[in-house]
Amino acid sequence: MKLRTNRASPFARKVRIAAREAGLGGRIEEIETPVSPVAANDELARENPLVKIPALVTGAGEVLYDSAVICEYLDTLHEGVKLFPAAGPRRFAALRLQALADGILDAAVLCRYETFARPQPLRWAEWIEGQQRKIFGGLAALETGVDGWSGEFGIGQIGAACVLGYLDFRFPDWDWRTGRPRLVQWYETAARRPSVRDTAPS
């Protein structure tokens, strides 16, 4: 299998962590792929018409995207503890947590584009503030829910680790830790997992 990835992308990191947690890291060739919201990448476009990463080429030659689809596919390829519960309330709790983390990341990546990629005279401060409200509202929900994770490290927790790592990487001055002691404690433990440590953005 081949994975189009980028060490700076939190969504690609989510797949890279999931692959390692599932014991599949050695079966996937990671291809570092530059991406930009404005520049063309014809090679990537041939695999993913949205020209986004991650994109996974399976052993059968099929291309899968986005991160949620790829992670669930990888979860079918191993016999260990599943990242996605099979059914019932636990499954929907995991999917909801994944959706929360993905939503925070969507807003954070949009802030990154607005503050880094867009020319200074065109930046929209009120729009950035609107995205920040989503991010910090999501962080409040993570802080409230973290005690119920019961030591699990499934797809939702993988997403949460990617959120916190991305905020540290791109927005260290936002200080997400203040007022969130339980989330801080959880992340200190999660960050020591080999899958999380070895995929840290650079």
Q: All domains of the chain, ordered by start, with CATH?
A: 2-74 (3.40.30.10), 88-193 (1.20.1050.10)
CB 85 within 8 A of CB 94: yes
Handedness of CA 10, 83, 198, 191 (dihedral sign): positive
| Amino acid 123: pLDDT | 83
CB 161 within 8 A of CB 13: no
| Amino acid 45: pLDDT | 87
| Amino acid 196: pLDDT | 98
Averaged over successive runs of 10 residues, the pLDDT of the chain (202 residues) comes to: 96 98 96 85 89 95 97 97 96 98 97 86 90 98 96 97 98 96 98 98 86
DSSP assignments along the chain, one per residue: -EEEE-TT-HHHHHHHHHHHHTT-GGG-EEEE----SSS--HHHHHH-TT--S-EEE-TTS-EE-SHHHHHHHHTTS-SSS-SS--SHHHHHHHHHHHHHHHHHHHHHHHHHIIIIIS-GGG--HHHHHHHHHHHHHHHHHHHHHGGGGTT--SHHHHHHHHHHHHHHHH-GGG-TTTT-HHHHHHHHHHTTSHHHHTT---
| Amino acid 200: pLDDT | 97
| Cα 153 from Cα 161, distance rounded (Å) | 10
| Amino acid 38: pLDDT | 76
| Amino acid 121: pLDDT | 85
Record the pTM: 0.95
| Amino acid 114: pLDDT | 87
| Amino acid 35: pLDDT | 85
